[in-house]
Amino acid sequence: ASEPIWTVHVEVRLASKARRRLDTVQDLVRDFITSSFERLSLPSVLGGWEVDQTLASSVERIAVSESSCPSTSLSLNEISLQIHTYQPSENDTVEEYANGSGDGGEGGLAASVSELPCRSWEGLWEGLIYADNIKLKLLDYIYATIILSDANVDFNLVSWNRVVLLHGPPGTGKTSLCRALAQKLSIRLSHRYTQARLLEINSHSLFSRWFSESGKLVQRLFNSIMEMVEDEDCFVVVLIDEVESLTAARAAAMAGTEPSDGLRVVNALLTQLDKLKHRRNVLVMSTSNLAKAIDSAFVDRADIIQYVDNPPREAIYEILRSSLCEFVLKGIVQEVSVPPLEDVLATEKHGWHSGTRLSEEIIDPSHAQKDKIGKALLGLADKCREQSLSGRALRRLPVLALARYIGTGVGASSIPTSLSPTRLSSKSALQ
């Protein structure tokens, strides 16, 4: 039996000044990979391409993506390479919609449009760490619906609404995950869609108070979505954040505190969403912190309802590890090697100081240090788990730790001198 062939996506970020033909660059990247590697690690960032003049002048980064294949490394003859080139846009927001309340901007920014892929969301995907492959599952699912619409599958036989709902406790990365997915899709679909845009609707601002204003705004928003969608070369992602606000608006309408305006706005939004389901170049993503409170009419429309929880021990370890590695990379803490989770778990399982470990330590004392760091970080991960810390709280933890360290007085002097004058100029700068 022949080996299964896995599709491996390679994402090539082009330099902003790159003017080469895309297919030329793709061919060069393919040649480079096939001639330089026997195996690829998934995921990984490739190096060594700089020696090729053309690649050096047109490419910034070549990254091999993770895949649903169970092993983390594949031999090239088990791989079918899909090479995607993209040039991230430099500007974040291209258009904004405010909910015109007039008095001090109570309504806030109700929506904004960004060009994708954009530079500020580079690395967002990699930085989000979940336990059970949620990211890939979602990506595969969305990919599947895109294949179906591409194949012109009869909507009477197989149908879906192009709506994804992520719900779970606050700070678990739901909004970021939607943005990261949108960015990923814009890269992976770049051969089909020359443009991609993300329209973010903040339902909380949209439904905050001024329902009569909101009604007009919903209309305006969906008019612009329709305009974007008319262009079949443009892939449009609509992100509806805090979708539970819809329910609040409906409830207020029912209770009679807000005349039927509120209800009209919610209904208008749902009707507009229904119109989008026939457009193949659209995806609607939504988030909520309170699944129970989401309008049932909205939940009914979601094809995927994914619960996103606070990270478990393993994911916490990886989140903390990636923060610590960044500290090392930027010279904030002294150079140490932080072991990957598998190593720590293996050591934990076989006892921290089994015979083999001890002999390794004699050969290489850095092993002992690595073990110690791994063990300490895993202990910390356990503590964070006990307190059910969210991903957001975990990403903040290193800042608090550094601040406390500096606060003890020993910190300032042990921070590398190369950093102290500029980035960590004084104790007060951080406080």
Q: Minimum distance between the CB of residue 311 and ligand ADP, rounded to whole angstroms?
A: 5
Which of the residues 191 through 210 are near ligand ADP (CB under 6 A)?
Answer: none
Cβ contact 179:217 at 8 Å? no
Put the strands of the sheet holding 44-46 in their side by side order: 44-46, 59-64, 6-14, 79-86
CB 176 → ligand ADP: shortest distance, Å? Answer: 3
Q: Which is nearer to ligand ADP, 128 or 199 (CB)?
A: 128
- Among 105, 108, 123, 170, interactor with ligand ADP by CB under 6 A: 170
Q: Determine which residue in the list 107, 173, 339, 374 makes contact with ligand ADP, applying CB under 6 A.
A: 173
User: What does the DSSP 8-state code read for residue 317?
Assistant: H
CB of 35 to ligand ADP, least distance (A): 36
Main-chain phi, psi angles of 182, to 5 degrees: -60, -45
Angle between helices 211-230 and 261-276 (to 10 degrees): 10
- Tell me which of 9, 174, 184, 367 binds ligand ADP, using CB under 6 A: 174
Minimum distance between the CB of residue 290 and ligand ADP, rounded to whole angstroms? 12
Among 311, 339, 374, 398, binds ligand ADP (CB under 6 A): 311
Closest CA to 310 of 386, 399, 396: 386
Minimum gap (Å) between residue 283 Cβ and ligand ADP: 17
Q: Quick one: which H or E segment has residue 397?
A: helix 391-407
Short-list 115, 132, 53, CA closest to 306: 132
- Please say which residue, 114 or 281, places its beta carbon nearer to ligand ADP: 114
For position 312 contacting ligand ADP by CB under 6 A, the verdict is no
Question: Between the CA of residue 197 and those of 91, 278, 429, what are the distances in Å?
Answer: 12, 18, 38
Measured from the CB atom, the residue of 290 and 336 that comes closer to ligand ADP is 290
Is residue 320 involved in binding ligand ADP (CB under 6 A)?
no
**Which is nearer to ligand ADP, 385 or 395 (by Cβ)?**
395
Nearest to ligand ADP of 128, 381 (CB atom): 128
Structure-token pair, residue 146: 């895109």
Q: Which is nearer to ligand ADP, 369 or 388 (CB)?
A: 388
Q: What is the DSSP string of 160-209?
A: ---EEEEE-STTSSHHHHHHHHHHHHHHHTTTT-SEEEEEEEEHHHHTSS
Nearer to ligand ADP, 200 or 371 (CB): 200
Q: For residues 143 and 146, what is the distance between their CA atoms, to the nearest angstrom? A: 5
Instruction: Point out which span in 171-179, 277-285, 362-370, 417-425 binds ligand ADP (CB under 6 A).
Output: 171-179
Separation of alpha carbons 242 and 107, rounded Å: 15
Task: State the residue number with the nearest CB to ligand ADP.
Answer: 391
Scan residues 109-128 and list those touching ligand ADP (CB under 6 A): 127-128
Q: Are 67 and 42 in contact (CB under 8 A)?
A: yes
Q: Which is nearer to ligand ADP, 117 or 391 (CB)?
A: 391
171: contact with ligand ADP by CB under 6 A: yes
**How far apart, in whole angstroms, are the C-alpha atoms of residue 405 and residue 412?**
8
At closest approach, how far in Å is the CB of 77 from ligand ADP?
A: 34
Least Å from the CB of residue 166 to ligand ADP: 8
Among 85, 87, 176, 347, binds ligand ADP (CB under 6 A): 176
User: At closest approach, how far in Å is the CB of 165 from ligand ADP?
Assistant: 13
Contact 77, 2 (CB under 8 A): no
Specify the residue, 214 or 287, whose C-beta has the smaller distance to ligand ADP.
Answer: 287
Angle between helices 261-276 and 245-255 (to 10 degrees): 140
* Number of residues forming the site for ligand ADP (CB under 6 A): 17
Site for ligand ADP in 270-309 (CB under 6 A): 287
Q: Could you give the CA distance from residue 296 to residue 276 in angstroms, rounded to a whole number?
A: 19
CA distance linking residue 311 with residue 308, whole number of Å: 9
Strand pairing class (109-116; 95-98): antiparallel
User: 393 is written with which tokens?
Assistant: 């709280």
Rounded to whole angstroms, how far apart are CA atoms 221 and 210? 16
**From residue 357 to residue 396, what is the string marking binding to ligand ADP with x (rule CB under 6 A)?**
----------------------------------xx--x-
Among 29, 238, 319, 333, binds ligand ADP (CB under 6 A): 319
Binding site for ligand ADP (CB under 6 A): 127-130, 170-176, 287, 311, 319, 391-392, 395
